[in-house]
Amino acid sequence: MRSFIAARTKFAEDALLTAVARVVEQIVILGAGLDTLASRSSFRRRVRVFEVGHPDTQAWKWRRLAQVGIASPACLTYAPVDFERQGLAEGLTAAGFDAG
């Protein structure tokens, strides 16, 4: 299972790298959880990354990162969204996502 997840992640990130090389300037990660793409990607200086997740999960993630001394990269914007109370567009707009 671990190999499958690693291969799937590699495939998805390679496809994303190709898209960034062409035209993509913003990336939205839904249900980001503990995702680290914004911190480790080679294209983080060329794109804005929006991590969409539940506000409580994101707050926990921020606390854990601070505890271990890991700063969020400049390209990363957290978009807290509780899908039981608000829509994706509302959360992304509040976070500064440019849909244009």
pLDDT in tens, 71-98: 888 989 999 999 999 999 999 999 989 8
- For residue 61, pLDDT over 80 is answered with yes
Identify whether 8 is part of a domain.
no
Query: Considering the domain boundaries, does residue 77 fall inside one?
Result: yes
> What is the phi-psi region of residue 38: left when phi exceeds 0, alpha when psi lies from -120 to 50, beta otherwise?
alpha
Quote the number of domains for the chain.
1
pTM of the model: 0.83
Residue 3 located in a structural domain: no
Position 70 confidence tier, pLDDT thresholds 50, 70, 90: confident
Residue 14 falls inside a structural domain = no
- 30 within a domain of the structure (yes/no): yes
CA–CA distance, 71 with 68 (Å, rounded to integer) = 9
Tell me the C-alpha distance between 98 and 94, whole Å: 10
Partner residues linked to 77 by β-bridges: 50
> How many C-alpha atoms does 18 have within 13 Å on its Cβ side?
6
d(CA 92, CA 98): 8
Containing structural domain, residue 29: 25-95
Q: Does 10 reside within a domain?
A: no
Nearest Cα residue to 19 out of 37, 46, 52, 39: 46
